[in-house]
Amino acid sequence: MSDNPISRIRFWGNAALVAVVLAAMAALALQGREIWGGWEYVIGAVALGYVALSLASYVIFPDQAKAAWDEQVQDTHRASLAFGYWAALGVFLILLGLVVTGRVSSAQAFYLMAPVLGAAPALWFTIAALRGRAG
């Protein structure tokens, strides 16, 4: 992992977002609940905390910002957004089929799209950082 503080915050922020979304999905699966029941606030709080910490890191370490967004990181960022797009499209089509067949309510499908939209790019970026491609 990089010694750059901005890169470390980016890695841990993305990892935390992925972890909390996975925990929420596991809890919902175990509880068998139709709607989130509060997890959306936990995910939102983690995401907003990540944003605040990222902003603070750029203010505290302005000399590290350019190194934290080199060409390799920018390419990984673009790839993570593309992965997020295709993941969201794939999950949307699956959920559409489940809604049309009556296996999932439209409200539940709406809520299930949110973690994919939020966590798919973060998952890609976290895996890339672990592989040494985004840090």
The string of pLDDT tens digits covering residues 41-83 is: 888 999 999 999 999 999 999 999 888 888 888 999 999 999 9
Mean pLDDT within 90-104: 95
Q: Is residue 32 helix, strand or coil?
A: coil
Give the DSSP letter of residue 63: G
Q: How many domains does the chain have?
A: 1
Domain ranges, residue 40: 5-131
- In the predicted model, is pLDDT for residue 33 greater than 70? no
- Contact assessment for residue 24 and residue 43, using Cβ atoms and an 8 Å cutoff: yes
Spatial separation of the C-alpha atoms in residues 87 and 120, rounded to whole Å = 7
Binned at pLDDT 50, 70 and 90, residue 36 comes out as low
- In the predicted model, is pLDDT for residue 37 greater than 80? no
- Contact assessment for residue 69 and residue 54, using Cβ atoms and an 8 Å cutoff: no
Instruction: Give residue 38's pLDDT.
Output: 81
CA distances, 4 to each of 72, 118, 133 (Å): 15, 25, 14
